Structure formats: structure tokens, C-alpha cells
Chain A
């Protein structure tokens, strides 16, 4: 084949083809045989719920993660990418969701890292570096970022812009953007879309992920929908309702117990106009025996709500009431004393002591209560912990086994069990089923219902709309730190929740 023919063949090949890509993290499937392809002259959106596998796909394409199985073709050539650098060789640049800027270095050093202009003696010319960075920014229409400022001194939005400028300025054939607009204001987002269209018109391929339907429709020429780590189809155009149905889908393997109707009662947990860094005027109530779900798109203040309730985040104004009495909660100790328990999503950094035994982890919160003169009665400790291990079906050969050796779902059960021993009246569950296998999920669902049946108030956030719709008595939808919709069971389904979150997004 002559060079010319080779060139034509390449030009006709899709820019990127992902073929039956699988990737799992510790037994949890992030991608399962997912495929899609994007061509040149295309702006291609990957859409799906949280955890559908979009970001994992971008990371694999960008060389940040390696697929467990499947094939990746770039410009028609099979590619094994061991690092983002190897992806660069294919003319591919990525703006990852977690920015890769160096915080203690200047904007210009970040923009031109490894491409710095040289001056006398072959040394880097700092002034020329600043000038070149300024020119790069100006060329893309950015005038408000000082190239000499340190990354850590500029706003999150400005950092995102710098990351985007760096990728675009390296003149990629294929540009990947993972949630590029998450921290941009409208005008900056429009700036980005302008450049995405420009690249498309120049025959480049742009692939991006987004949660905002309006911008997906506004800029992309093709959409691939992901659900639960699989691709469910690619479309040139699709209307929102249809897309939402595809994104949520009817899961055949899903099983959800139905919570028993709770009798109306005075709220056990109540907030009044809770406002903070992110939260805006959040007022909610949870009665004993009631399960209240909190949903919405990612990053709308759910985390801040839970952490503020638990004293790990600060509220600037508003009240928190437990059992009708106002409580001052400055730190988690106050929250525990007030009768609250928080089960976070990140078990490793926020809850469990992984190298320690199941037993030690279980009794950690109640040590002062069960110890006599500072000494732990081993018999009592053993008795208490075996009871929990049996009741929650924690699969561990022995209570002395290190928690780190258990599966994610079982770790989560240990964490819930720890709190059960402390007998709180309010349970805050933050995305507790994330990364948990299906069988264990069911056990956790039953456990959530049992917490309610024991007349505790349960507030629970989940990134899985299906869970929220089925397990909650009520679902509160959050957007930009405020509660913007309230949905009531019975009769709720996942589509209602997702569409409430997205519709709200459209209106604003």
C-alpha cells in the first residue's frame, strides 16, 4: 500500500473505536463490554447516569487507565496506551475531570511544561515563557488569566480554562473532555462550545461527557448512551425523554424491597434554612421510621448537606433539630452525641480503620460506654460484635479478621453495624451502595428498611436514581445547594427522579 493510500484509509477510519472494553475495580464492573466509535468532524457526547462508565471510558481512551479486556483503535490502528503520554503520540489530548495542573507552579509553567522556550545557554527563558503563554491564552480568547499567577491562587473555573487551553493549544486531532463544564460559568461554557465547534469544523474529533442535557443537545453531533457500564446505543439525534429511558432502563436484575408505610409523626430530624458554603436555604424533615431520599445530578450539594448535618462541614446559618430540640453541632462528636450516625461512601478515608479487626472497628464508637475503668471486657465485646456480624450477615471468617480484607459491601455493613451498636436515632446514609455487588446491595436495602422499621429516621443519598425511587418514602431533588423538587411514593420510578433533576437543570 502506498503512503497515499495509507493516508486515505486512515482518513476514512473512525477517530476512535472502543470495542468491547471491560474494566473493573476490585470486583465492581465499571465497564462491561462497552463499545462506541467516534469519527472525525464530530462532536460526540457520552451520556449516562453517575457510575454508568463514561468517565472510566474517557480515562481508558486518554491513557490514564488500562482496560482489562477489549480493543482500542485510534485512527484505525490498534492502540495499547500505558500512559497519557502514549496517547499524545496519537494526537490525542484529554481534559480529565480531576485536573492535572501543578498547583505550586505558574499558569505559564503549566501551559508550557516540557515545551518551554529556551534562551541563552539553552536555559529556559522565563519572560519568553510568560509571553508565549499569554499569546496562547489570547489566541483562544482568554484575557482574564494572568500567566504569571500560581495555579493555586486562581479560581477553580480559571484552572479548568487553563487545563482546556493546554489541551487545545497542543493542536490535538482528537480531544477528550470529561465533564469540562462542571466548574465553568455559562459564558465560559459557551467559549468552550465555540472551540469545540471550531475543532469539529476543522475536521477534528471531540468527545465529551456532560450531565447537562441542554449543552449536550446544543453542541454535539452524535450521542452514545451508557448504562451500568454498557453502551445502549449511539444516536444522531434523540429526544430527552427517550434518552432518559435509555439511561435508567429497566433493570431486570434489580430487586427493591418496598418500605412499610410509616405513620406520620413529629420529625426526628429537621433542618431550618440551613445555609453554608454550598447549601442554600435547605429545610427538610425526617420522621421516625421514615426514609427520605436525596437525589439530583452529581455535585449539587448533597455531600455538603450530609457533612454539615454531621458537623464535618460548617453551616453559616440555619438550625438543626433532633427530636424537636435545636442542637449545636460543631463537629462529628456533637453529632454523635445528638444521636446521629453517618455512613459515608468513601469507607476507606472516612470511616473504617482497614488494617484493624472487624471487632475493633465495630466497637470503636462505643468504647467509652462498654469499657470498665478503661478496660474492655472481652466477653462483652465478643458477644456484641458476634450479634452484629450475624444480624447483618457480614461475611468474615472471624471477627478478628482485618476489615481491609472484606469486600466493599461487607465493609459497608461493618460500618453500619458500628453505628447500630451506638443506637443512633438518625441515620445519614451517603451513597452506601456505591461499588457494592448486587447480592450485597439487596442485603443493604433490607438493612435500610430495618433501620426504618426500628423507628429510626433515615436520610439517604444515592447516585442511583432507581434506589432512591424504590426505597424512599419521599425523594428530595437538589440543585446548586438547594432543594428544588419533592417527589412522593408510592408510584415513583427512576425516570421521575432523573427527569426532575434534569428538567430543573434545563429551566435554570
Chain B
């Protein structure tokens, strides 16, 4: 047990790389999809994509980025939130119906909509945490409930989002929305360094052990689902702002795409491993795939087919690369 057995220690950065292979991989995937996009764009337009393309890509990613963040927090605890799409249906409808063109109404309804999402998430959290019910069942049930409520709020697509609100949230001239992405990343970095942040990882790793060491499992789960609900509401607001109107069915698809973004982002579906920033990058990768398919002139009818194909290739390559990296370190 003395010094003779001590081995040279890996450096801080080596440890960071070891812990964040998933994160590095998703950025590699993001970089290559951006490169592929630029290449196809150049072949098509004889010029490189510019500010307009960047802005529309960022804006189009915002709803998914927000909901993927929430989804990732829940998946970290080894849960899953299928109600994300329902909350986005409900919240984008709510905003489109009620928001008026004056700043006070905008602020008030932003807060109210985020609160409504948080409340929906809280319901999930209470059922999962205190009720000890399976997350997949609870959130599947609340998904239907939120979808129903959304149709009640806005039976036909319609309503309106004031142009000023769209300009503030997803500005169509400049990629200001990147600031929100940056803010989310910073907030996450701070959250990771709180007891709650550590607890999210701890219960995802081993709930029993975490409890044995004083982690409040139930409270942490309630917080995780509440945050997920609130972030889905933020996604719903972005969705409405992009469309400048509401549609009580436009959010449903985000349940699955948010899970895709999270998994692409290197967050383990088995909980306890991964990084929110990876989920953000995963969201951008999914948008890039759509962009690439658009410029490659893929028939929109077959778009989802190629999306799926692209996704499998990305995940397989990622897994292979990750395996190589791990073996290289060992």
C-alpha cells in the first residue's frame, strides 16, 4: 500500500477526455455534417452558406435544442420524458392564442407559458417520484393529456405571435438565438456544480447507492421532470415564434426527436453518463441532416427514410470510433 505501487497519474485533460468521449464524438459528427452541408451547398450554389443559412439553421434548431436539454436531464436520472411533445403542443398553442403585441403581455405570457410547462413537468415528477410509477407509462399518459388540452386551447391551427416576439426569440436577420444556446450551456455548467446536478448523475448511476449516501432521490426526480417540462415549454415558445402562429399538433414530433438528439449527444439511455452540451450539439446535428437532405434534392416523400439512414450511420460510426478511443486509452 505504499508509494512503490503508485502509478503515474493521468493528467487532468486525459481524465476529461475519458469522461467526455461521447461529447467529443457528437462534436465530430456535427463538424462533419456541417462540412458535408457546406460542400453540397457549394456544389449547388457556387458559394458558401452565409449569415442567412446560419440564422435559419439556429432558429430551426431552437425548439429541438430546448426540449432535448430537458429530455437529457430526465434521461440522466435513468428516466424518460415522452410528454415533451405534448407540452410543446400545449405551450405553443397557449402562446399563439393569448400573446398580444405589447411588451407587458409578451413578458407575462412568456412567464405563464414556462410556468405551465413546469407545472406539467411537476405532475410527471410527482407521479414518478412519489408515486414510484414507471416514467415511460406516466409520461405516455400525460403526453395524451397535454395533447388533448392543447387541442382544447387551439382546435384549429391559428392564433398569432407578435412579430416583435419572434424578433426577440428567433431573430430572422441575425443568429441572435445562439445567445440562448450559449446561456443554456452556461446554466447547465453551473447546475452541474450544485448538489442537484451531482444528484442527477448519482441516481442515474445507481439509485440505491445514491440514496444510501444521502441523496434525496424523490426530490431530485421531481426537479428533473419539472425542469424538463419548463424547457419543453421554452421549446414550444420557440416553435410558435418560428411559425408566428400556433398549431396544437406541431410539437408532438419532438418527443422522439428530443430523445434522438440526446442519444446522439452521448447521453446514456441507462442514465448517469453524458453531458447536456452534447444534447445541444445532437439537436444541431439533426437539423443539419434535414438541411443536407434538402440541398441534396431528396424527394420530401423519402426524407424521413434518409433521415433514419443518416442517423444509423452516424450512431454506428460514433460507436465504432468511441470503441477505438476507449481501447486506445486502455
Contacts and interface: CB of A to CB of B under 8 A. Distances in A.
B272 A144 contact: no
A122 B19 CA distance: 24
Interface in B202-217: 202, 204-206, 208-215
A124 B19 contact: no
A143 interface: yes
Nearest to B12: A148
Nearest to B15: A148
A316 to B, nearest CB: 20
A83 B205 contact: no
Given A142-B1, A146-B10, A148-B10, A83 B201 contact: no
Contacts of B215: 113-114
Interface residues of B, number: 34
Interface string A116-146: 1000011111100000000000000111101
A153 B10 CA distance: 12
B2 A113 contact: no
Contacts of A188: 1
B179 interface: no
B205 A105 contact: yes
A48 to B, nearest CB: 25
Contacts of A126: 193
Interface string B172-206: 00000000000000000010011101100110111
A304 to B, nearest CB: 23
A150 interface: yes
B219 to A, nearest CB: 13
Contacts of B18: 150, 153
B6 interface: yes
Interface string A447-459: 0000000000000
Which applies to chain B's interface (DSSP): helix, strand, loop or mixed?
A: helix
Contact of A124 (B10, B198, B213, B272): B198
A267 B266 CA distance: 54
A249 interface: no
Contact of A144 (B5, B198, B208): B5
Contact of A105 (B194, B201, B208): B201
A29 B158 CA distance: 67
Nearest to B191: A123
A299 interface: no
Interface stretch (A96-104, A252-260, A288-296): A96-104
A138 to B, nearest CB: 10
Nearest to A99: B209
B257 to A, nearest CB: 26
Nearest to B214: A114
B2 A100 contact: no
A64 B205 contact: no
Nearest to A192: B1
Given A114-B195, A123-B194, A148-B12, A100 B5 contact: no
A106 B201 CA distance: 11
A109 B194 CA distance: 12
Contacts of B327: none
A191 interface: yes
A187 B202 contact: no
Contacts of A141: 1-2
B297 interface: no
Interface string A160-201: 000000000000000000000000000110110000000000
A156 interface: no
A85 B214 contact: yes
Q: Is the interface of A mostly helix, strand, loop or mixed?
A: loop
B209 A104 contact: no
A292 to B, nearest CB: 39
A-side interface size class:
35 or more
B46 interface: no
Contact of A191 (B1, B195, B201): B1
Contacts of B198: 109, 113-114, 116, 124
A101 B213 CA distance: 9
B3 interface: yes
A143 B6 contact: yes
Nearest to B326: A153
A307 to B, nearest CB: 25
B213 A100 contact: yes
B45 interface: no
Nearest to B205: A102
Contact of B212 (A84, A106, A122, A149): A84
Nearest to B11: A148
A347 interface: no
Nearest to A148: B15
A100 B214 contact: no
B185 to A, nearest CB: 15
A102 B211 contact: no
A88 interface: yes
Nearest to A85: B214
Contacts of B208: 100
Nearest to A189: B1
B10 A83 contact: no
A88 B213 CA distance: 9
Nearest to B330: A153
Nearest to A114: B214
Interface string A77-103: 000000111001000000000001111
B10 A104 contact: no
A146 B198 CA distance: 20
Contact of B213 (A114, A121, A122): A114
Contacts of B202: 102, 105, 113
A144 B7 contact: yes
Given A100-B213, A102-B202, A124 B194 contact: yes
Contacts of B204: 104
Contacts of A123: 190, 193-194
Nearest to B209: A100
B179 to A, nearest CB: 21
A146 B19 CA distance: 14
B206 A102 contact: yes
A148 B18 CA distance: 11
A107 to B, nearest CB: 11
A141 to B, nearest CB: 6
A153 B44 CA distance: 48
A6 B6 CA distance: 47
Contacts of A109: 198
A215 to B, nearest CB: 16
A150 B3 CA distance: 21
A85 B272 CA distance: 22
14 contacts: A100-B206, A103-B272, A105-B202, A105-B205, A105-B272, A113-B213, A114-B215, A124-B195, A124-B198, A143-B3, A148-B15, A150-B19, A153-B18, A187-B1
Given A102-B272, A109-B198, A148-B15, 17 more contacts: A64-B212, A100-B206, A101-B209, A102-B210, A104-B201, A113-B214, A114-B198, A121-B190, A124-B197, A124-B198, A125-B193, A141-B2, A142-B1, A143-B5, A146-B7, A146-B9, A187-B1
Interface of B: 1-3, 5-7, 9-10, 12, 15, 18-19, 190, 193-195, 197-198, 201-202, 204-206, 208-215, 268, 272-273
Q: Give 5 closest A-B pairs by Cβ, nearest first.
A: A102-B205, A100-B209, A123-B193, A84-B212, A191-B1
Interface of A: 64, 83-85, 88, 100-106, 109, 113-114, 116, 121-126, 141-144, 146, 148-150, 153, 187-188, 190-191
